[in-house]
Amino acid sequence: MSAESRRWCFADQLGPHFLDDPAQPVLLIESQAVFARRRFHRRKAHLVLSALRHRAAELGEQAVFLQTSSYREALDQLKEPVSVCQPTSWAADRFVRSLPSVEVVPARGFCTSRQDFDEWAESQRTLRLENFYRTARRRFDLLMDGDQPAEGRWNFDADNREPAPKAADDLGVPQPWLPEEDEIDEQVRADLDRWERDGEVTFVGRDGPREFAVTPAEAQQALQVFLRDRLPHFGPHEDAMLSGDRFMAHSLLSAPMNLGLLDPLDCAYAAEDAYRSKKAPISSVEGYIRQLIGWRDYIWHVYWHFGENYRHRNALHATNSLPAWFTELDADAVQANCLKDVLAQVRDHGWVHHIPRLMVLSNYALQRGWDPAAVTDWFHRSFVDGYDWVMVANVVGMSLHADGGLMATKPYASGGAYINRMSDYCGGCRYQPSKRVGEQACPFTGGYWWFLARNTGELGRNRRMAQPMAGLGRLKDLDEVVAQQRGLGDSAP
């Protein structure tokens, strides 16, 4: 197939770096079947359709834009061969490779290639993020002084674990870039309203003004605002939560980056430039670069490396169904301040930053023994930046320890004390993080000990769990804790 063959770009491949040439002909397909198959967040549907339609408008006659019921129908209409960058899910990858008229070229939109990752993985006994990240730093010469890391350290995590500031409503950093909607957004919203009225699709969550970039130009604006105004403050409170500040100093670039609007390696070099020009401290810059060339790439490669069945791993035998209040994002049913606020953010915006995802939503799911596959699907559908490759490894491997330790050496489980230390949620809550039984027992504190008690067989062999398991053995009220937690059932805490 010639280099000038039409490039089929999926809705998460919308940046110019997915083309071999700026003038390459493009195919864009809007498939309503994608939204009919699963119940996505309304804001996610809006964001994806807006980005796709904006790209079509931007390319003009360079693109064929087909709005059909399915991808196959569109390809039948096109009647010409196309090339496509490797899609980002097993299902889509299998589909495009089954089509004789489609040439699949290597994936783009990530830093380390699949070939380079596989070569690295073959040399490793265990696939640890830190080792992968250091290899990537060397490969891309990022934050390196010769063959040594800048300022003599690979990792500044220890500097980036400050709790939320006391008696503060927000972090006090400039606000992130936010877009202004246009006539394309107006038409997207009208179409989504009509689809819902006609019963063709249903959504979860609430609609609202678009909050993320949908064009390469918008994404560049958002990136520049982050680098200038927010990156200098990013590191120290990276793991903290404030009820009055849902953005903190985070970049809000995951959604446009996962739409393919930003090249993560370009973003990493831009962040390094901020450090080299003394506009941002190394602790913040290293933390951000670690997310791009380390964690994001690592999650992508784990998704492929462990195979299609990785999503079905369930080492802790968690089989409980997600309760309706959770799947419907019914934050009003919840009394625990942290979970109530975080679930409301998901309901209203389809986004929270990574610590509420890990230490509130996923921590609660882990403690309740919810089925990992169902939790993965929930995150995929409910978050504007959620895709299959993003959520399988993040949930199955990182959050719910369902892979038995292939990714993380121990479960990310914690009681209310952690949330109390890292946020302002506990002060006015009806539950007390220090109590594990009784009416004021924190559901996270009681749930933590219930989780350990349920999984002594699996976790008792983990050396990194020796201290908490010893603490479990010293609890004199464990039977009471377990009975109270079991009694909660599917009810909202």
Percent of the chain, pLDDT > 90?
91
Residue appearing with tokens 């009509």: 194
- Give the count of alpha carbons within 13 A of 440, CB side only: 9
Phi, psi angle pair for 50, to nearest 5°: -65, -45
Rounded CA separation 364/379 (Å):
14
Rounded CA separation 143/268 (Å):
10
C-beta of residue 241 within 8 angstroms of C-beta of residue 163? no
Query: Residue 44's CB: how many other CB atoms inside 10 A?
Result: 23
The residue type of 453 is: A
- Band (113; pLDDT cuts 50, 70, 90): very high
Q: Tokens for 69?
A: 């019921």
Average pLDDT over residues 200-206: 95
Closest CA to 87 of 11, 15, 3: 11
- Band (4; pLDDT cuts 50, 70, 90): confident
First to last CA, the chain: 58
Phi, psi angle pair for 31, to nearest 5°: -105, 115
The pLDDT assigned to 53 comes to 98
Query: Does the pLDDT value for residue 1 go beyond 90?
Result: no
Write the secondary structure of the chain as one string of H (helix), E (strand) and C (coil).
CCCCCEEECCCCCCCHHHCCCCCCCEEEEEECHHHHHCCCEHHHHHHHHHHHHHHHHHHHHHEEEEEECCHHHHHHHHCCCEEEECCCCHHHHHHHHCCCCEEEECCCCCCCCHHHHHHHHHCCCCCCHHHHHHHHHHHHCCCEECCEEHHHCCCCHHHCCCCCCCCCCCCCCCCCCCCCCCHHHHHHHHHHHHHHHCCCCCCECCCCCCCCCCCHHHHHHHHHHHHHHHHHHHCCCCCCCECCECCCCCCCCHHHHHCCCCCHHHHHHHHHHHHHCCCCCHHHHHHHHHHHHHHHHHHHHHHHHCCHHHHHCCCCCCCECCCHHHHCCCHHHCCCHHHHHHHHHHHHHCCCCHHHHHHHHHHHHHHHCECHHHHHHHHHHHCCCCCHHHHHHHHHHHHCCCCCCCCCCCCCCCCHHHHHHHCCCCCCCCCECCCCCCCCECHHHHHHHHHHHHCHHHHCCCHHHHHHHHHHHHCCCHHHHHHHHHHHCCCCC
Q: Spell out the domain ranges in the chain.
A: 6-105, 114-177+213-306, 311-488
Give 437-449 pLDDT, tens digit per residue: 999 999 999 999 9
Give 352-397 pLDDT, tens digit per residue: 999 999 999 999 999 999 999 999 999 999 999 999 999 999 999 9
Single pTM value for the model: 0.95
Instruction: Reply yes or no on domain 311-488 having CATH 1.10.579.10.
Output: yes
Give 212-244 pLDDT, tens digit per residue: 999 999 999 999 999 999 999 999 999 999 999
Query: Does the pLDDT value for residue 432 go beyond 70?
Result: yes
The residue type of 329 is: L
- Band (33; pLDDT cuts 50, 70, 90): confident
Rounded CA separation 79/94 (Å):
20
The pLDDT assigned to 37 comes to 86
Angle (nearest 5°) at CA 207 between 201 and 210: 115
Average pLDDT over residues 150-166: 92
Residue appearing with tokens 């609890």: 475
Query: Does the pLDDT value for residue 26 go beyond 60?
Result: yes
Instruction: Reply yes or no on domain 114-177+213-306 having CATH 3.40.50.720.
Output: no
- Which CATH architecture does the domain made up of 6-105 adopt? 3-Layer(aba) Sandwich (3.40)
Q: Tokens for 219?
A: 């994404």
The pLDDT assigned to 3 comes to 54
